Amino acid sequence: MNIATLLETSALTSSDSAAISTPGEVVLTYSAFHARAARLAAGLAASGFAPGDRVALAMSNCTQYYEIMFGAWMAGLCVAPMNPRLHVKEFAFAVADSGARLCFATPEIAPALAAELGGACRVIETDSTDFEALFSNPPAPMADVAGDAPAWLFYTSGTTGKPKGAVLTHRNLKAMVVSFLADSGTCIEDNILHLAPLSHASGMLGLAYIARGRNNVVLPSLAKDGLETALHRFAPLSFFAVPTVVRRLMEPALLDPALVPAIRRIFFGGAPMYVEDLKRAAAHFGTARLWQLYGQGEAPCTISFMPPHLIEAALTAGDDKRLGSVGIARSGVALRIVSEGGAPCPAGAVGEVAVKGDVVMAGYWGRDDATRAAIRDGWLHTGDLGFMDEGGYLTLVDRSKDMIISGGSNIYPREIEEVLLLHSAIAECSIIGVPDAEWGEVPVAFVVPLGVSGSARPDRAALDALCLDHLARYKRPRDYVFVDELPKSSYGKILKSVLRESWAARG
Ligand code: AMP
């Protein structure tokens, strides 16, 4: 089953409906989208690409994104979408790792990437005549591919060593779409706004909207004018956003609060949503708009979820524990917590989150060792630590590599971060473990005060008192570093590795 059949069906059911749009206008209807993808498939085949070949995408959000993806799939090729804000050497690494001989790139990336890659891989700029020339052949019939053929190489962020390509098959993507349609209760009458990179979760969720024949509105960058134009023009709109972007969207400087009714759903995930931030988001956007998802590239977007009515129930009950959870297992996904030896843990015990289901990747591209370490007995070991309560709600405590071991006791940064955010003068914070001669490791807090004036800065004694009010003494940060902002990846994740480096550099 080729995942591109989603588009074929929508071209029949919704031929004249808007498929791909800029914030202000429709660019392709479903019949035009389908025709372009089928022509591109023919162009790729005529250029010597055969089923199984990889095509890399070094592209910021643009309206050509999905026609390239679907064109490649129709030709039986596998796409390797890369984070558009990577360094040119990082692009080159992923291109070489994937073995792609062709890379589509948006104009701001293409020249430097072509220079870096030399003759090893052809770079085609999306706004060029070379690009349009690929559409000059008559449409090709869809390649017949097996369900377990690679469709999407998802390059991990590589926080531990070089990035790895999680091999997502056509079956994986179908399982993700079906689970989303089953669980989300949306994409029936709303459209999706891609304000986050299409190379990541936003691009994944868009596949479900394509399956439903809905409009994909592509925002080139997160800016007030495009955002508001799209909400005026194409409401009701839903979108994926990481928690830090959800917070930014509460600022009138980015989004006029009067436009909130034009939003149908905010699918948030990709990083922790702290309880205080979730309460603020619920008050600002209304709980009915909030839908949390937890997933990772290896099980794309689809491990657990917390839909609006469950968020509402936790809020009404004043149940902050559930509010801080990532909800329950997604449809078609088996979820459990396992000990280091792989045995299932009882309710309440912290262990590694393990996942099984059709959504779990086939493995890492060319990395059998890493695949064997991650997938054992059919269970994907996510590297996330968490526990499940009696009701099946999963709470993540941290990535296993971020856990701090102090004097033999485990400290989960997330629980300290949740407490610090109770302080009204803290906008953001992040806890890391730093080496300590006596305890092995101790926690240190990086804190972004609210506002810029010194008077707003919370004093250390007050922060200590707050921590001691809520946490065991050994979990109190040994130092507070006040910063103007936290380092984040272009996907919006806080880069604890950079915080560790900056701590080390302080000597
Ligand atoms: P990526 O593979 O880049 O999508 O990153 C996946 C990782 O992000 C997961 O393994 C988690 O550590 C984290 N993550 C994803 N969704 C959530 C969520 N809803 N809450 C907390 N962490 C999350």
- Collapse the DSSP code of 399 into the 3-class scheme (helix H, G, I; strand E, B; otherwise coil) and give the result: strand
Atom of ligand 1 nearest to the CA of 383: 10
Please identify, by atom number, the ligand 1 atom nearest to the C-alpha of residue 200. Answer: 4
pLDDT at 386: 95
Q: What is the mean pLDDT of residues 228-243?
A: 97
For ligand 1, atom 21, the nearest C-alpha belongs to 272
Q: Which atom of ligand 1 is nearest to the CA of 300?
A: 4
Instruction: Give residue 345 CA to ligand 1 midpoint distance, Å.
Output: 21
Q: Which residues of 354-368 are buried (b: 16+ CB within 10 A; e: fewer)?
A: bbbbbbbbbbbbebe
Which pLDDT value is given to residue 253? 96
**Confidence grade of residue 455 (pLDDT, cut at 50, 70, 90):** low
CA distance 340 to 293: 25
Dmax of the chain from CA atoms? 71
Report the atom number in ligand 1 closest to the C-alpha of 297.
Answer: 2
pLDDT of residue 161: 64
304 sits in the region (left: phi over 0; alpha: psi -120 to 50; else beta) called: beta
Q: Check residue 452 and give its pLDDT.
A: 55
Q: In the predicted model, is pLDDT for residue 218 greater than 70? A: yes
The residue whose C-alpha atom lies closest to atom 5 belonging to ligand 1 is: 296
Asked whether the predicted pLDDT for residue 457 surpasses 90, the reply is no
**312 alpha carbon to ligand 1 midpoint, in Å?**
22
Residue 272 CA, ligand 1 centroid: distance in Å: 7
Give residue 170 CA to ligand 1 midpoint distance, Å.
22
The Cα–Cα gap between 393 and 18 comes to 38
**Mean pLDDT, the chain, whole residue set:** 94
In the chain, what is the straight-line distance between the N-terminal and C-terminal CA atoms, in Å? 56
- pLDDT tens digits, residue range 28-43? 999 999 999 999 999 9
| Residue ID of nearest Cα to ligand 1 atom 10 | 296
| Ligand 1 nearest atom to the CA of residue 293, by list position | 19
Would you say residue 87 has pLDDT above 90? no
159 has pLDDT over 70? no
Residue 229 to residue 238: CA distance in whole angstroms: 14
Distance (angstroms) between ligand 1 centre and the Cα of 270 equals: 4
pLDDT digits (tens, 9 = 90+) for 335-389: 999 998 889 999 999 999 999 999 999 999 999 999 999 999 999 999 999 999 9
| Cα 496 to ligand 1 centre (Å) | 14
List, in order, residues 6 or more apart from 432 with CB less than 8 Å away. 402, 404, 413, 443, 444, 446, 496, 499, 500, 503
At residue 99, the pLDDT reads 98
Residue nearest atom 15 in ligand 1 by C-alpha distance:
270
How much of the chain, in percent, has pLDDT values that exceed 90? 85
What's the pLDDT at 438? 84
CA of 229 to the centre of ligand 1 (A): 30
Question: Which of 82, 167, 277, 296 is the pocket-test mutation for ligand 1 (most atoms within 8 Å of CB)?
Answer: 296
Query: What is the CB < 6 Å shell around ligand 1?
Result: 156-157, 269-272, 292, 294-297, 326, 382, 384, 396, 399
Q: Supply the pLDDT for residue 437.
A: 86
Asked if residue 180 has pLDDT above 60, the reply is yes
3-state SS, 102-146, equals: EEEECCCCHHHHHHHHCCCCEEEECCCHHHHHCCCCCCCCCCCCC
Position 67 scores a pLDDT of: 98
270-303 confidence digits (pLDDT tens)? 989 999 999 999 999 999 999 999 999 999 999 9
Q: Which residue has the higher pLDDT, 190 or 161?
A: 190
pLDDT for 158:
58
Residue nearest to atom 22 of ligand 1 (CA): 271
Alpha-carbon distance of 412 to 460, in angstroms, equals 21
For 256, the enclosing helix (H) or strand (E) is: none
Q: Using the mean position of ligand 1's atoms as its centre, give its distance from the Cα of residue 297 in Å.
A: 9
Average pLDDT over residues 220-225: 95
pTM: 0.91
**Is there a contact between 217 and 193 (Cβ–Cβ < 8 Å)?**
yes
Tell me which of 274, 355, 396 to substitute to probe ligand 1's pocket, judged by most ligand atoms within 8 Å of the beta carbon.
396
Q: Positive or negative CA dihedral for 158, 160, 161, 166?
A: negative
**Domains of the chain as residue ranges with CATH:** 5-386 (3.40.50.12780), 404-505 (3.30.300.30)
Tell me the C-alpha distance between 457 and 443, whole Å.
Answer: 20
In this prediction, residue 458 carries a pLDDT of 86
Q: For residue 157, which atom of ligand 1 is closest to its CA?
A: 3
- Nearest CA owner, ligand 1 atom 6: 296
**Distance from Cα 472 to the centre of ligand 1, integer Å:** 27
Taking the centre of ligand 1 as the mean of its atom positions, its distance from the CA of residue 201, in whole angstroms, is 10
Nearest CA to ligand 1 atom 9: 296
The predicted pLDDT at position 168 comes to 98
Residue reference for tokens 């269970």: 379
Kindly tell me if the per-residue pLDDT of 125 is higher than 80.
Answer: yes
Residue 90, pLDDT above cutoff 90: no
DSSP 8-state code for residue 338: E
Tell me which of 294, 311, 402, 495 to substitute to probe ligand 1's pocket, judged by most ligand atoms within 8 Å of the beta carbon. 294
Instruction: Give the pLDDT of residue 492.
Output: 82
Average pLDDT over residues 91-106: 97
Residue whose Cα lies nearest atom 1 of ligand 1: it is: 296
Considering only CA atoms, which residue is closest to atom 7 of ligand 1? 296
pLDDT above 90: residue 489: no
Counting from 1 in the atom list of ligand 1, the atom nearest the Cα of 304 is 19
Determine the distance separating the centroid of ligand 1 and the alpha carbon of 71, expressed in angstroms: 29
Q: Are strands 150-155 and 351-356 parallel, antiparallel or unpaired?
A: unpaired
Rounded average pLDDT over 136-161: 89
